[in-house]
Copies of this chain bind each other. A is one copy, B any other.
Amino acid sequence: MDFTETPSADQLETFPNPKPGRDYSIEIICPEFTSVCPKTGQPDYGTIVFTYTPGEKCVELKSLKLYLQRFRNQGIFYEQVTNRLLDDFVEASQPVRCVVVSKWTPRGGISTNVTASYTAEQTRPG
């Protein structure tokens, strides 16, 4: 693992949704996320949960793990990283809908959770 590589949506691999005609959901719970606070230089620790309804593609779990590990030494704030994770996940897999929740361990006695979601625009028949 090269922890100096920059994370990018391109690192997320996908495979064809095995049941594309059904509106079902996949929840992926990642309790070992860590990044670095750009202000204090101190590490942050959190759990990231992706919940999505696949469109044509499902996200491959090992590539997701490696992608998340690339944030290990990146300086990025809670709000930024949560929105970034959602944007990358959507770019890579183009889901019908997706929610990303990040839950962070306490700093200064205060805990923070961030929730961001995406819904694909419906393509309507012409």
Interface residues of A (CB under 8 A from B): 1, 3, 17-19, 22, 24-32, 34, 36, 41-43, 45, 54, 58, 61-62, 64-65, 69, 72-73, 77-80, 82-83, 105-117
Contacts and interface: CB of A to CB of B under 8 A. Distances in A.
B43 A112 contact: no
Main DSSP-derived SS at the A contact region: mixed
A64 B105 CA distance: 17
Given A19-B116, A22-B116, A43 B32 contact: yes
A109 to B, nearest CB: 4
Nearest to A2: B41
Contact of A79 (B17, B29, B79, B111): B17
B45 A109 contact: yes
A28 B65 contact: no
A115 B25 contact: yes
10 contacts: A1-B36, A19-B83, A24-B117, A26-B113, A26-B115, A42-B108, A61-B107, A64-B110, A73-B73, A107-B108
